Structure 1
Amino acid sequence: MIKQQSFLSLKVPWQHRFCHGGTLRKSSKGRGSRPLSTKDPIHLVLKINKSSVRGGLRNRYAFKLMTALISRYSLKFFIKIEQVSIQNDHVHLLIRGTRRSKLQSFLRVVPGQFAQNMTDTPESRNEGKKEKIWKYRPFTRIMKGFKPYQIVRDYIQLNELEANGRPYSKTRLRGLSEEQLIELWTL
């Protein structure tokens, strides 16, 4: 009885029941199985170590490689990519999958192929260091309902515009007015 009750602490809190990976993995909150859904969209975030990729993900080689890997493996694993935003140190994806096994394969193969291609460059062979490319495991969150989906969609769009030169504002996520939302999607 006591042993069974000790496993109760491994249950995921209700706030994180649709989330997995990222910084949650370091605490006991994110140690359960990854929740994936074939009906709802999934927000996926991949975060790199800034020191491991020279110039970040926005440099020409890394950007081209990441977009090629995402498009190639989304076709292979039947993943629908709704939105992509490649930042200097992380990638946001809004995806939908048809099967759990295909989603798991996509989450495994894309970061793995990126890390493999980045560490097999002539510069990394000469340096001789074996630093991890990815800072955390892929973060996923299932978007249940239209409101969270709309918030994440606007957030990814705003991140993409900021990566392309829009000025950053600390209050950018406090709620956008109707004019700002229209401006966000017309640029």
Structure 2
Amino acid sequence: MPQQQQHYLVITALGTDRPGIVNTITRHVSGCGCNIEDSRLAMLGEEFTLIMLLSGSWNAITLIESTLPLQGVDLDLLIVMKRTVASEQKETPTTVWVKVEVEDSPHLIERFTDLFDSHHMNIAELVSKTQPAQGEHPPRLYIQITAHGSSDRPVGEIEDTFHQLCTELNAQGSISVVNHPQN
């Protein structure tokens, strides 16, 4: 018997955090016959956001599309969904990871995202968190970024630019660059 074609759906659920909410959503997803291919959850203030990539048969994806918004109303959630296709694994000859700690101020994250953009790298993951001021210590910003790109530029170039930016911003930072062998 031939395998059914897989269909894909990205869903985002946003709402006030409370115990059991994520379990309720994942149980509903499973009950519709969908598989969770990838997911992220983040707490932002009193809110949580859950992002999932689901796969399943056409019937399973259609079922979740028609039932999850109703469950979202019952749970007081904002639900956004979009059909997508399976992504082909793109060649990523270079992967860069950075961690930064710096006194918080506007435009800092933009400075680091611009660094990757100027080196033609695609940001795959960005996590930032501000630690509130503590006594005489000002708020601190923590940033982690993972990016992928081609190896058409010398590895040392982004490392040098990153260290220059950290020096300019009086930030503590680390960078790790990995070049993956090409077939």
TM-score (norm 1): 0.41
Q: Which has the higher helix share?
A: 1
* Greater fraction strand: 2
Which of 1 and 2 has greater Rg? 2
Which protein, 1 or 2, shows the higher relative CO under an 8 Å CA cutoff with sep ≥ 6?
A: 1
TM-score, normalising length: structure 2 = 0.42
